[in-house]
Structure 1
Amino acid sequence: MVNPAPRIEAQEPVLAITDLTKNYGTVEVLKSISIDMVPGDFLVLVGPSGCGKSTLLNCIAGLEDTSGGTIEIAGRDVTHVPPRDRDIAMVFQSYALYPTMSVAENIAFGMKIRKVDKDVQSKKIADVAKLLQIEHLLDRKPAHLSGGQRQRVAMGRALVREPALFLFDEPLSNLDAKLRVEMRAEIKGLHTRLNASIVYVTHDQIEAMTLGTRIVVLKDGIIQQFGTPAEIYEAPANLFVADFMGSPPMNLLDAEVEVTGSDTRLSFGSGEQAKSFMAHSAPAALASGGKRRLVAGLRPEAFAIAQPGEADVTLTAEVVENAGSDTFVTFALGGKHLITRLPGRARIGVGDAVPLSLDTTGVCYFDPETTNRIA
């Protein structure tokens, strides 16, 4: 676990969570969660099933009581405030549309309950319908809409509220792969145009990386890392984050590092399977020199096919998967599997000896006992 990202003093947080805990009986689901989020942030909560991300979102929404800690929205303590009074709008995974109401009636329902003037309702419905390109659907019932159209209606119902905070609970998980990509771009575009403050739950790390301005990686109710997508991808806090964030994930290999002056050598395996190469400068904690066993993290895209005589290492291809723009090739390195992302035009067959160069500037080093990255 790393410390939460520091508060940005120039802006008051739109969401401030301090030492939040949530228990179900004797089971502690959320453990001392602290997060700050400034206006305009797109904060993504990501992690495997059962990590606590949906429970955390429900606590923010007021749908779940907390066991300890505080939640502030727009500077107001809402820890024990009912959901309707929290100045939030939520988009659910199931869309939660009323089947007997038209699209326009679904979008207007919350405003009708709050007794918003009818002229204001009509204007807001027209505005969000234009924004989401669903003007031609306003008279239809949800049963006559596609999954993507229903998602747009659910988003429209949230947008007309103009809340301090939007909450999205895995909104794309019911859509097919192509539509997920389209809706992801649409949500990103909405965030950019409206400068909305969004908390978004997903188990999909691609969604997290492409949508978020900051990401919270959760495991077993504990924050593993809190930072920008670049920070989490390039400098994962521990082995869990390194393995979870990335597609394909970072290769995590047992290695020996030897530092001699300004030279760093990484070695993998032993005997006939041993491979070694020179690496970029070691982190400060390893700079004192000597040999040390650790786990080396190598991203698949750090490898490239080398020109003759310029290879850092030559490996034998075991599995070749052509994905169009990319070719994913699995090699054996030190007795372990190594996945590389090579160009789609690469002509590699199983059993080929492939000369590879390695950009070692992005190598991460992890302590095998604590699992934390060595900085």
Structure 2
Amino acid sequence: MVNPAPNSVEPAPILSIEALEKSYGAVEVLKSISLSIDAGDFLVLVGPSGCGKSTLLNCIAGLEETSSGTISIDGRDVTNIPPRDRDIAMVFQSYALYPTMTVAENIAFGMKIRKVERSEQDRKIADVAKLLQIEHLLNRRPAHLSGGQRQRVAMGRALVREPKLFLFDEPLSNLDAKLRVEMRAEIKALHQRLDASIVYVTHDQIEAMTLGTKIVVLKDGVIQQFATPAEIYDTPANLFVADFMGSPPMNLVAARVSPRDQGVSIRFGEGADEHAISATNPPVALAAYSDKPVIVGIRPEDFSVAKGGSLDLTLRAEMTEHAGSDNFTTFALAGKRLMARLSGKARVAVGDEVPLSVDTSHICYFDPQTTRRIA
């Protein structure tokens, strides 16, 4: 192990937020938000409508005043500094392009205001146009562009600023489904090529999982979890995160657990409707819940049609949705609807009694009172 050099200084986070709060009168929109990210991180703010994600982005941008707390960008406190002096660039949902200007003029507008040399403007326009593959569009006006092309222009206008921090406010929400997927891939590739520092707002958890290096899940102005996409998907902090992150979401079913041979027995339902499966390597804290109610979380992809002696459950199929490579099948378990993501080759019809295997290595357990994951 190499020890750091004497007097070496850790680089400041590119963005640091401490105890940030925002209220409109008596209404608290953001409640004690604290987080930090390093240079090159892609932070996604995700949550349902009204959770405070756009307000948080606007506070970072300086478009909203904070009620309390601090915001620092690259080690500089910018809490009370106007947006133009924060060294940020923002890409809006609505593109915000000037209709009477060409693509080149839209990209150059901010540089023109800052009195950047014309030769430097031309160089930067050419560079970002090549990067975004819009060289052939430079003389067109926004009215003659598709939605995806307009979004590329808006991104180009942000890129020429070479800011410390890029802010994206639901930039793909106005695009159709196919174009969203294409633009999502382009934004991810752009981030990787430039190693840019990005804060990105979306209500789409698929966007959050595929784009982010870090994710903040918000609900009612409170951070529910701040972690990597893998951590949030595999070990959700509470029932809200478990239900919100994932498509289809995690199945959450009431159960009771009891110790059994290096593991636990999980019992769903009662009497004639009881079903039981066994799981190994349960979390240590689960020992305190023996024969007490818990909520068990199982991802849809952790079910498969049983083969040989691997049977765990036999459930009746209530609905099937064939989606090519996947067969999404709904079952009833202990009075709760349960979704299984089976192979598209699985031949399952409504009414079939389907033998299922469960990969129990990814099961999550939650306290029904606190809603937090039992670790």
Fold equivalence (TM over 0.5): yes
What count of residue pairs does the alignment treat as equivalent?
A: 367
Q: Could you tell me how far 1:12 is from its partner in structure 2?
A: 1.6
Q: C-alpha displacement at 1:310, in angstroms?
A: 2.4
Pairwise mapping of residues 125-144 of structure 1 onto structure 2 (< 5 A)?
125-144=125-144
Q: 1:11 deviation in Å?
A: 3.4
| Aligned counterpart, 1:200 | 200
SS in 1 for 2:60: helix
CA apart distance, 1:271: 1.5
CA drift of 1:272 comes to: 1.4
- In structure 2, the partner of 1:159 is 159
Q: Counterpart of 2:305?
A: 305
Does the CA contact (< 8 Å) of 1:259 and 1:289 recur in 2?
Answer: no
Could you report, residue by residue, the CA deviation over 1:35-86 in whole angstroms, capped at 9, with x for unpaired residues?
A: 1010000000000000000000000000000000000001110000000000
The alignment status of 1:344 with 2:344, answered yes or no, reads yes
How far residue 252 of structure 1 moved from its aligned partner, in angstroms, is 0.4
- Which residue number in structure 2 is paired with residue 372 of structure 1? 372
TM-score, normalisation: structure 2: 0.96
**SS of 1:45's equivalent?**
strand
**1:21·1:69 contact (CA, 8 Å) conserved in 2?**
yes
Residue in 1 aligned with 2:33? 33
User: 1:109 is matched with which residue?
Assistant: 109
Name the residue aligned to 2:79: 79
Counterpart code for 2:81: V
Q: Distance in 1 between matches of 2:308 and 2:334?
A: 23
Deviation at 1:135, TM superposition (A): 0.2
Q: What is the deviation of 1:240?
A: 0.2
| 1:256 aligned residue | 256
1:10 shift after superposition: 4.5
Instruction: Give the equivalent residue in structure 2 for 1:6.
Output: none
CA RMSD of aligned residues (A): 1.0
Q: Secondary structure at the match of 2:136?
A: helix
Checking the alignment, whether the CA contact within 8 Å between 2:217 and 2:226 is kept in structure 1 is yes
| Counterpart Cα distance in 2 of 1:148 and 1:288 | 53
Partner residue, 1:4: none
TM-score between the two structures when normalised by the length of structure 1: 0.96
**Displacement over 4 Å in runs of 4+:** none
Q: Distance in 1 between matches of 2:224 and 2:368?
A: 16
Equivalent AA in structure 1 for residue 114 of structure 2? R
Distance in 2 separating the partners of 1:296 and 1:290: 13
Per-residue deviation, residues 180-237 of structure 1 (Å, max 9, x unmatched): 0000000000000000000000000000000000000000000000000000000000
Q: After the TM superposition, which residues 219-368 of structure 1 pair with which residues of structure 2 at under 5 Å, given as runs?
A: 219-260=219-260, 262-287=262-287, 290-368=290-368
Structure 1 runs not aligned, ≥5 long: 1-8
For the Cα contact (< 8 Å) 1:71–1:79, is it kept in 2? yes
2:262/2:280 contact within 8 Å kept: no
- 1:117-128 superposed matches below 5 A: 117-128=117-128
Cα distance in 2 for residues equivalent to 1:282 and 1:33: 32
Q: Which runs of 5+ in 2 are unaligned?
A: 1-8
Q: Secondary structure at the match of 1:287?
A: helix
Distance 2:167 2:227 in 1: 19
Q: Distance in 2 between matches of 1:199 and 1:286?
A: 37
Give the structure 1 partner of residue 4 of structure 2: none
C-alpha separation between the residues in 1 aligned to 2:289 and 2:334? 23
Deviation digits for residues 126-174 of structure 1, max 9, x if unmatched? 0000000000000000000000000000000000000000000000000
2:26 counterpart letter in structure 1 = T
Q: Which residue of 2 aligns with 1:3?
A: none
Q: Which one-letter code corresponds to 2:90 in the other structure? A: M
Tell me how far 1:325 sits from its aligned partner.
Answer: 1.0
Task: State the secondary structure of the residue aligned to 1:126.
Answer: helix
Structure 1 Cα separation of the partners of residues 67 and 368 of structure 2: 34
Pick which of 186-195 and 265-274 moved more: 265-274
The verdict on how the C-alpha distance between 1:280 and 1:11 changes in structure 2, with shifts beyond 3 A counting, is: farther
Aligned residues of 2:214 and 2:227 also touching (Cα < 8 A):
yes
Moved more, 332-341 or 188-197: 332-341
Q: Which amino acid aligns with 1:140?
A: R
**CA drift at 1:335:** 1.8
Alpha carbons 1:312, 1:358 under 8 Å: kept: yes
Residues 321 and 329 of structure 2 are in contact (CA less than 8 Å); yes or no, is this contact kept in structure 1?
yes
Q: In structure 1, what is the equivalent of residue 211 of structure 2? A: 211
The residue type equivalent to 2:160 in the other structure is V
1:261 positional shift:
5.5
What is the distance in 1 between the residues matched to 2:342 and 2:105? 51
1:281 shift after superposition: 2.1
- Name the SS for the 1:162 alignment partner: coil
* C-alpha separation in 2, matches of 1:299 and 1:289: 22
Q: Give the drift of 1:280.
A: 2.1
Superposition deviation, residue 291 in structure 1 = 1.6
What one-letter code is carried by the residue in structure 1 that aligns with 2:174? N
8 A contact 1:327–1:343 mirrored in 2: yes
Q: Which amino acid aligns with 2:70?
A: T
Identity of aligned residues (%): 72
